[in-house]
Structure 1
Amino acid sequence: MIGRRALGAALAAAALPLAAFPLSALAQPGGKVLSLVVPFAPGGPTDLIARRLAMLLQEVLGQTVVVENRAGAGGNVGAEYVARAAADGQTVLFGTSGPLAINQMLYPGQTYDPLKDFAPVGPLGRIPNVLAVHPDIPARSVAELVALGKGGRALAYGSSGNGASSHLSGALFNSMAGTRFEHIPYRGTGPALNDVLAGHIAMVFTDVLTALPHIQSGRLRALGVTTAARSAVLPETPTIAEQGLPGYDASVFFGLVVPAATPAPAREALRRALEGALRQEAMRRFLESQGMQLAPEVTPAALSALMASEAARWGAVIRETGAKAD
């Protein structure tokens, strides 16, 4: 692990080329704190990544940055809080696919429009799920699993809840493969994974980092990762797309947004701070260790296009499968 002194030195050195930041755009009288809102509970992978990013943003911006957890409704509680916050560049949403693209189709009562009520800052990247089965399931590839399902064997997959990426990954799989694997929602990733490990259900679509130790120990068998490209964390595991389902792509993306009326100089300061943070070798290694595939371009346009395309793609899946949120 990199020590605090070494990390601080690296950050200071890397911050030098960023001296042209319009940091005054974020300066507030009285040393106002910049709030990085995480729309999920503390302790999860999203929270962990946000806290590491907050430390780097604080170093680059020279301003106190705190993580504020506002969980609920699949991320909608925190997202709505940011959408209605003062547009002064001091309240930033650490968003994911749910609140930034998918939830609007799953929660009829959602009161904000992600494309109208937010101004994108930039994306961080994507984290894939992995399709993993209990070792007793006689399938060592996606094709064999599909054959089992079509051969009449009743198989179920668990998820962290209705509308979660682990649910929608399975819904997309059923739609593309022509299978009818039963979806069983749980109250979180842990309970779903525990039931697969115990052999109560056959499989799960879950993030690669959570599944990795169980795959390495042999308690789970990885059949395929859900992104278009293989995961650096599981390089020997082929993608689902390359195993007979071309075009299959299901992952969670991460990005920063601010209230729509936030002035352009403040948005640009945040964007350049994010880009600078993601250039840090320590940060890149950390994100890749979490299974993240880093965004090739850290721009508002890249995040805006991602939000729109994901909303369109998952909207079609949700309409076809009838997926609903809890």
Structure 2
Amino acid sequence: MERPGITRRLGLRAGLGLAPCLVPGLARAAPAQDGRPVSWVVPNGPGSALDIAARLIAPDLGARLGQPVVVENRPGAGGLLAAEAVARAPADGNTLFFGNSSTFAIAPLMIPGHRFDVLRDLAPVGGIGASWNVIAVAADGPHRGLPGLLDAARAAPGRISCATTTGSAQQLAALLFARAAGIELNLLTSTSSVTGLQDVVAGRVDMAVEHLPTVQPLLAERRLRPLAVNAPMRIEQLPDVPALTEYGIAGAEAATWSALYVAARTPPGAVARLAAALRGALAEPRVQETIRRIGASVIAEADGATLTAMLEEDLRRYRAVFDVGGLRP
């Protein structure tokens, strides 16, 4: 997984109703902080990418903490409701938030007037995963490569349509791509990424800029053709797909990343204990392989300072294109 900022800081290769994940303590587990379960709040519904990842990691995390870990889904308001609930929870390290760049950098722009401020209200524990977006077209469509798509877009500004969902990380990624490439896209919003991708497959929409874990099944079925990844270099999961930088397009890089957070007042010792347990869980081969298989890369090397720098960078870049792209609600 590569990205300006992430790559330099982490040295990474280019490269988820209330439901319990109860895990008994093992011999290797650290002494339990207390006897209570740890609540891991996920800001998306069951079956989402974050929910899947949380339930994958929870057993190993609980084993290392010596406490049961309970995954709790609290969708709504782009994740802000869940984030605010964790920020108000007792600052004892027993309530975790599965944060991601969409909740922290995009939802606040789309939902003005809220009181939540991640830099003030939450403390980062450690990174979990990151993935890139793919510029994709229908496998049997007219666009066989990125240069041809760009030529068509420049010949008729606004004619090339791009599937997206309103206020999503992918919509902003599409705007970043268009701005960096010097083209004008016709952004067509849908209720979900799945709906938009089906429109691309059917030829009703020309292209999509979509999160790799979401688009990967259609790539595997050869129903979509990947033209490029919005990364500074090729990525592990799609080694034959060029990066935008290979076409001289810079400034369009946009990764979607996730990390573990706790309430801002949590004692440093409790944060350090959680961070060590998380790094250990992410080192498990089965965890790494599953995360890689769904199209992401583990970013366990991302500590609190790195995550804060990544978030600040995202906030700066997304704010720069937000009003320009007409996305203000």
Q: State the TM bucket, normalised to the shorter chain.
A: 0.7 to 0.9
Contact 1:36 1:91 (8 Å CA) reproduced: yes
Residue identity matched to 1:99: T
Distance 1:236 1:267 in 2: 40
Among 215, 222, 230, the residue aligned to 1:218: 222
Among 176, 181, 184, the residue aligned to 1:177: 181
The residue that corresponds to 1:4 in the other structure is none
SS of the residue 2:291 aligns to: helix
Contact 2:282 2:300 (8 Å CA) reproduced: no
More helix by share: 1
Structure 2 residue 264 is the aligned partner of structure 1 residue 266: no
Among 154, 160, 172, the residue aligned to 1:155: 160
Contact 1:119 1:260 (8 Å CA) reproduced: yes
Contact 2:212 2:296 (8 Å CA) reproduced: no
TM, length-normalised to structure 2: 0.87
The residue that corresponds to 1:145 in the other structure is 149
Residue identity matched to 1:269: R
CA shift for structure 1 position 273: 0.7
SS of the residue 1:261 aligns to: coil
The residue that corresponds to 2:136 in the other structure is 132
CA shift for structure 1 position 170: 0.8
Contact 2:106 2:168 (8 Å CA) reproduced: no
The residue that corresponds to 2:16 in the other structure is none
> More deviation in 133-142 or 58-67?
133-142
> More deviation in 210-219 or 308-317?
210-219
- The 5-angstrom pairing of residues 233-244 of structure 1 reads 233-244=237-248
Distance 1:200 1:180 in 2: 18
CA shift for structure 1 position 136: 4.5
Distance 1:79 1:141 in 2: 41
Structure 2 residue 195 is the aligned partner of structure 1 residue 191: yes
CA RMSD of aligned residues (A): 2.0
Residues 123-182 of structure 1: per-residue CA shift (max 9 Å, x gap): 1231112111113542222222111111117121112x2111121111111111121111
- The 5-angstrom pairing of residues 8-157 of structure 1 reads 16=28, 21=30, 23-24=31-32, 26-27=33-34, 31-152=35-156, 154-157=159-162
Residue identity matched to 1:143: P
Task: Label 1:189 to 1:57 Cα distance change in 2 as closer, same or farther (>3 A).
Answer: same
Contact 2:279 2:300 (8 Å CA) reproduced: no
SS of the residue 2:41 aligns to: strand
Distance 2:96 2:182 in 1: 41
Residues 11-38 of structure 1: per-residue CA shift (max 9 Å, x gap): 96xx84xx6x5x45x32xxx32111111
Distance 2:191 2:49 in 1: 16
CA shift for structure 1 position 271: 0.5
Contact 1:231 1:291 (8 Å CA) reproduced: no
Contact 2:43 2:83 (8 Å CA) reproduced: yes
SS of the residue 2:191 aligns to: coil
Contact 2:180 2:251 (8 Å CA) reproduced: no
Contact 1:130 1:205 (8 Å CA) reproduced: yes
Structure 2 residue 248 is the aligned partner of structure 1 residue 255: no
Residues 166-208 of structure 1: per-residue CA shift (max 9 Å, x gap): 2111111111112111111211221111111121111112222
SS of the residue 1:320 aligns to: coil
The residue that corresponds to 1:5 in the other structure is none
Residue identity matched to 1:70: R
TM, length-normalised to structure 1: 0.87
The residue that corresponds to 2:17 in the other structure is none
Contact 2:106 2:169 (8 Å CA) reproduced: no
Distance 1:226 1:46 in 2: 21
The residue that corresponds to 2:279 in the other structure is 275
The residue that corresponds to 1:203 in the other structure is 207
The residue that corresponds to 2:4 in the other structure is none
SS of the residue 1:248 aligns to: coil
Residue identity matched to 1:209: P
SS of the residue 1:119 aligns to: strand
Contact 2:86 2:263 (8 Å CA) reproduced: yes
CA shift for structure 1 position 44: 1.3
Among 159, 165, 168, the residue aligned to 1:164: 168
CA shift for structure 1 position 296: 6.2
Distance 1:204 1:131 in 2: 6
CA shift for structure 1 position 52: 0.7
Tell me how many residue pairs correspond in the alignment. Answer: 305
Distance 2:300 2:60 in 1: 19
Distance 1:296 1:131 in 2: 27
Residue identity matched to 2:125: V
Among 307, 311, 317, the residue aligned to 1:303: 307
The residue that corresponds to 1:317 in the other structure is 321
